[in-house]
Each structure stands twice: as structure tokens, then as C-alpha cells.
């Protein structure tokens, strides 16, 4: 851990040395040792809050609730609409900064909807969880499900890989993040697939409950 921090420090100093008087455009992580107080949300359009405002997506809602409860915890929304397990895996370095304490991984739906090879998906999820753990961050895996039109077999195999992966990594599992939201008219936008603000509130409930059970954050 300290090696990583030293490396980050060195990189920053290096950048500052060969750079210019202007402040770097990417805000560096605080150089001094800080408390790990960030809950990182990795995921796709569901996490990013496609079709709703940033404050209405469930990560921001959770941060509000934690603040209201007096917890000094921040949420970092690293959701990217349209991304897949491969995308999250590739770009973990950007997100796994020293302040991150917990990482909630809600990914794979896009892989499924594109009919990807499920073994590859599972491998990616394994790799993500491993990297998270290696960074000293507590992983939480959100189980996903596909809409039934993808066929019973494929849907079943897809849903089954999450509990397996969570078990292998020793990560906590949120059984199904869209419980009570998927397919319900009132909680979804007109495309029928992305939750609206009310849907996100419901998702926040689900996630908060699951995290509490694990004693998180």
C-alpha cells in the first residue's frame, strides 16, 4: 500500500517538475495518508444513472443517506453507460485510489445483452474482484439478471455466475440489485430497461440493506 502511495507521489512530483506552473487538470489524490472513506461504485448505465441526474442515481442517494446518518463516507460514481466487464477490468487503475474502502461491482448486463461468451464474462468478474482485493479494498458483487427474452438457458447460466464468482473471491453478494424494480412500470423510464428516479431510490434501499448486513460501509 505505501509502495503505491510512494509511486503516486513520485509520479505527481515528476509531472509537476516537467510540467508548467498551471495546476494539473486531473486533481491528484491527496498525497498525505488519509482515511479510507470512499465507497466506489463500479458499473454500467444503471450505476451511472442513465436518463436521470447524477444526484438521483443510487450512489449519490446512498451518500446522502450516509451523511444524514452522520457517517463521513463519500460515494464515487465510476459508472459508465454501455460498459462491459472487460471495460471495467481495463480501467480499474483510475478508480482504485488510496481513499477507496469498499468497491461495489454491478457489471455484466451489457455483456449479456450482447450475447457474449459467459465463460469470458465470469473470468473478467473474477479478475475484477481479485484486483479490488489486491488493492486492499473490500469487494461487494451485485448479482445481475437478464430479461427473459434472452432465453431461459442463457439467462439461467448468466445469473448463476455471480454467486459463484462472489464465493470464489470471498466477496459479499447483493443477490439482485434490481429486485422489485425490473419490469415494474412505475420504476422505469420509457425504454423499459433503465430505472427512473423512483427506481433508483428503490435500488438504494436494496443496496443499503445488503451493505448493512455486511456491516458496510
Task: Name the site residues for another protein (rule: CB under 8 A).
Answer: 19-20, 22-27, 40, 48, 50, 53-54, 76-87, 90-91, 93-95, 97, 111, 113-117, 120, 147-154, 182-183, 185, 190-193
- Kindly tell me which of 136 and 147 has the beta carbon lying closer to another protein: 147
In the bound complex, what is the minimum distance in angstroms from residue 170's beta carbon to another protein? Answer: 25
What count of residues does the chain have? Answer: 217
In the bound complex, what is the minimum distance in angstroms from residue 23's beta carbon to another protein? Answer: 8
Residue among 200, 166, 172, 209 at smallest CA distance from 59: 200
Task: Note whether 81 and 127 are within 8 A (CB).
Answer: no
Annotated catalytic residue 194: yes
Annotated catalytic residue 53: no
Residue among 175, 191, 192, 174 at smallest CA distance from 183: 192
The active-site residue out of 95, 111, 194, 200 is: 194
Annotated catalytic residue 200: no
- Kindly tell me which of 117 and 215 has the beta carbon lying closer to another protein: 117
In the bound complex, what is the minimum distance in angstroms from residue 105's beta carbon to another protein? Answer: 13
- Kindly tell me which of 86 and 101 has the beta carbon lying closer to another protein: 86
Task: Note whether 47 and 59 are within 8 A (CB).
Answer: yes
Rounded distance between C-alpha atoms, residue 134 and residue 92, angstroms: 12
Task: Note whether 203 and 187 are within 8 A (CB).
Answer: no
- Sheet containing 74-79: give its strands across: 74-79, 38-43, 100-106, 138-142, 172-174
The active-site residue out of 45, 95, 111, 200 is: 45
Give the H/E segment covering residue 92. helix 92-95
The active-site residue out of 25, 93, 117, 191 is: 191
In the bound complex, what is the minimum distance in angstroms from residue 151's beta carbon to another protein? Answer: 5
- Kindly tell me which of 68 and 152 has the beta carbon lying closer to another protein: 152
Active site positions, annotated: 45, 191, 194
Amino acid at each position: 500500500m505505501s509502495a503505491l502511495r510512494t509511486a503516486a507521489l513520485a509520479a505527481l512530483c515528476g509531472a509537476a517538475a516537467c510540467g508548467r506552473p498551471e495546476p494539473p487538470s486531473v486533481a491528484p489524490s491527496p498525497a498525505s495518508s488519509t482515511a479510507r472513506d470512499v465507497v466506489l461504485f463500479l458499473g454500467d448505465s444503471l450505476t451511472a444513472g442513465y436518463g436521470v441526474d447524477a444526484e438521483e442515481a443510487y450512489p449519490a442517494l446512498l451518500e446522502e443517506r450516509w451523511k444524514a446518518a452522520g457517517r463521513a463516507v463519500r460515494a464515487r460514481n465510476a459508472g459508465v453507460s454501455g460498459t462491459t466487464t472487460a471495460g471495467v477490468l481495463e480501467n480499474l487503475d483510475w478508480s482504485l485510489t488510496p481513499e477507496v474502502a469498499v468497491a461495489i461491482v454491478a457489471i455484466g448486463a451489457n455483456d449479456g445483452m450482447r450475447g457474449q461468451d459467459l465463460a469470458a464474462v465470469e473470468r473478467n468478474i473474477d479478475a475484477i474482484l481479485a484486483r479490488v482485493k489486491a488493492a486492499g479494498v473490500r469487494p461487494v458483487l451485485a448479482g445481475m439478471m437478464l430479461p427473459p427474452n434472452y432465453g431461459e438457458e442463457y439467462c439461467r447460466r448468466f445469473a448463476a455466475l455471480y454467486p459463484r464468482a462472489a464465493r470464489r473471491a470471498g466477496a459479499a453478494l447483493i443477490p439482485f440489485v434490481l429486485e422489485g424494480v425490473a419490469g415494474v412500470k412505475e420504476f422505469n423510464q420509457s425504454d423499459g430497461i433503465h430505472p427512473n428516479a423512483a427506481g433508483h431510490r428503490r435500488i438504494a434501499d436494496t443496496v443499503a440493506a445488503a451493505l448493512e448486513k455486511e456491516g458496510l460501509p
